[in-house]
Homo-oligomer: A and B are copies of this chain.
């Protein structure tokens, strides 16, 4: 394994580029010594970051380009003037099959816009989605969409279910991941039309999918299902609400442990326990959203991450690069049951 894998890297994406990118490559190289990296970006800035990383000499190839997408650039603006950016070039290496997978810690909107233009949506699929890994009591689950789409219809939710299941097979190494549709628990309402129609379609489809039915917001962290399907609007809000809650509790823990001398001594004694806790709560340990549904896999690292977090996202990119994920999705879409196709969703139009 790993021997043939080439990862295309946006060397200039993210708040701490290029240093965090190069640091991440050095860490990932220890774990995946045979993987090669094509790093796109400004030679004059990448070379100093590479100094002292002699281990990377034979696995990193720098491909110079002058320009970079800014973290605050509008996607349309980035698309217009972007052909010379490290992000565009990094995606292009996957489009041209030079690389197996592309990774960037840059501007999410620009990355999605450029990836759609260059890689295009898999034929038959309504729209791409962004999948996140979510820590749970049972381990990890996949949640999608976490922000690629604002308005999501039933057909898109069904597509997300198919993509999410295929993704969970790869990253969670499961034979038959269970899939749930995120819904609300207030008893007077059983969700909106999209959610109900998608559930009915999944049940009636005859697809070999372990469809669990509806799940609620607290089922995500409980790990009730392996794959949680939702609209980009609700998924993004859920993900960020959870991140905010983790930060709030971290704040509570710090202030609680500083209340008295005894608490502080206790804290010191419990340090190994707290270190485990810190690792569990470290957002760098689950870094990496994946754009699913394009003719090529794009991994998005958190923009503010450091080398450790970027290396986690690289692990994910390498795992996806080794898999036949895109071929599997294309195959699923080519063999959709008529009941799903009947849901509509104008895939030909959306595949732009």
Binding site for B on A (CB under 8 A): 74-75, 107-110, 112-113, 130, 135-137, 146-151, 182, 184-189, 191-192, 216-222, 230, 232-234, 236-249, 251-253, 255-260, 262-263, 265-274, 276-277, 280-281
Measured in the bound complex, the distance between the Cα atoms of B243 and A218 in whole Å is: 6
The answer to whether B240 and A150 have CB atoms under 8 Å apart is no
B237 and A184 contacting across the interface, CB-CB below 8 Å: yes
**Residues A256 and B273 in contact in the complex (CB < 8 Å), given A184-B233, A189-B232:** yes
CA distance A148 to B185 in the complex (A): 10
**Closest chain B residue, CB of each to CB of A258:** B273
What are 5 A-to-B residue pairs whose CB atoms are below 8 Å?
Answer: A185-B236, A186-B232, A263-B270, A263-B272, A266-B266
> Please, which residues of chain B bring their CB within 8 A of the CB of A241?
217-218, 220-221, 238-239, 241-242, 245
Instruction: Judge whether A110 and B187 touch: CB under 8 Å.
Output: yes
Q: In the complex, which residues of chain B have a beta carbon less than 8 angstroms from the beta carbon of A108?
A: 186-188
A220 vs B187: C-alpha distance when bound (angstroms): 24
Closest to A253 in B: B277
Q: Are A246 and B244 in contact (CB under 8 A)?
A: no
Contact residues in B for A268 (Cβ distance below 8 Å): 266
Nearest opposing residue in chain B for A112, CB measure: B188
B273-A265 in contact (CB<8A): no
State A110–B256 Cα separation when bound (angstroms). Answer: 40
Please, how many angstroms separate the alpha-carbon atoms of A251 and B218 in the complex?
A: 14
Picked from B221, B237, B270, B276, the residue with its CB within 8 Å of the CB of A237 is: B237
The listed residue (B107, B232, B276) touching A256 by CB distance below 8 A is: B276
Contacts A233-B234, A241-B221, A249-B249 given; does A189 touch B270 at CB 8 Å: no
Least CB distance from A257 to B in Å reads 5
CB–CB A147/B189 < 8 A: yes
A237 vs B108: C-alpha distance when bound (angstroms): 23
**A217 contacts B232, C-beta separation under 8 Å:** no
Among residues of B, the one whose C-beta sits closest to the C-beta of A73 is B187
A273 pairs with B263, CB closer than 8 A: yes
Residues from chain B with a CB closer than 8 A to the CB of A271 are 266
Q: Name the distance in Å between A80's Cβ and chain B's nearest Cβ.
A: 14
Among B137, B192, B270, contact of A150 (Cβ-Cβ < 8 Å): B192
Nearest to A261 among chain B residues (CB) is B269
